[in-house]
Amino acid sequence: MSRFFVFVEGLTVWSGKSFGWCILVLTFATSYEVFVRYALRAPTAWAFDISYIMYGTMFMMAGAYTLSRDAHVRGDFIYRLWRPRLQAGVEVVLYVLFFFPGVIALVIAGFDYAAESWRFHEVSINSPAGIPVFPLKTILPVAAIVLFLQGIVEVARCIQCLRTGAWPRRAHDVEETETAILHQREHEMEVALHLDRKSGGGAG
């Protein structure tokens, strides 16, 4: 089972980081549209479609990655005060009652939407360019499946916490600048405190 969990975490990280490049496509497309619209007076017919397709794809595929980083919004002003076992128990209940039913519904509905869209080779109705949207609708069930798999890994983490009383460490990954600085500062303070104690002990 541990190999399965490692595989899922790897898939989640890969999908999140890979589809994160959509922001670069979105940035270039939007910048190009602004330039040709205002400088050349020749707006494109596809910029709006590209913007919601890229953003929608990135947003959906980032869900599982965000879950794996424990970065979803949580009312942690209460949660953080609980003991790890209580946190894990509450999370398991919430996953079973809300997360998995919602994600399974998204998988089923997503497959229906994607299949119908592929059947008619659906194109966008927002512009005369006729941009295909069936690839975007295919992202719905794909993102939901990856999210479902990551949910299984998160429940396994909760079960391990219930057994040991401590949360298992997450795989190392890039951190936000503020978080990295905070961790570095905490480490420096721990080192300084250790040196102070050592120095005080030697003097005594």
Token match 């709006």: residue?
A: 48
pLDDT for 75 equals: 73
pLDDT for 204 equals: 46
Q: How many Cβ atoms from other residues are within 10 Å of residue 112's Cβ?
A: 13
pLDDT along the chain (204 residues), means of 10: 84 92 93 94 90 92 92 80 92 96 96 94 86 92 96 95 90 62 72 74 49
d(CA 111, CA 118): 10
pTM of the model: 0.80
Longest Cα–Cα distance of the chain, Å, equals: 83
The C-alpha angle with vertex 103 and arms to 84 and 137, in degrees rounded to 5, equals 140
DSSP state letter for 167: P
d(CA 12, CA 130): 32
pLDDT for 150 equals: 96
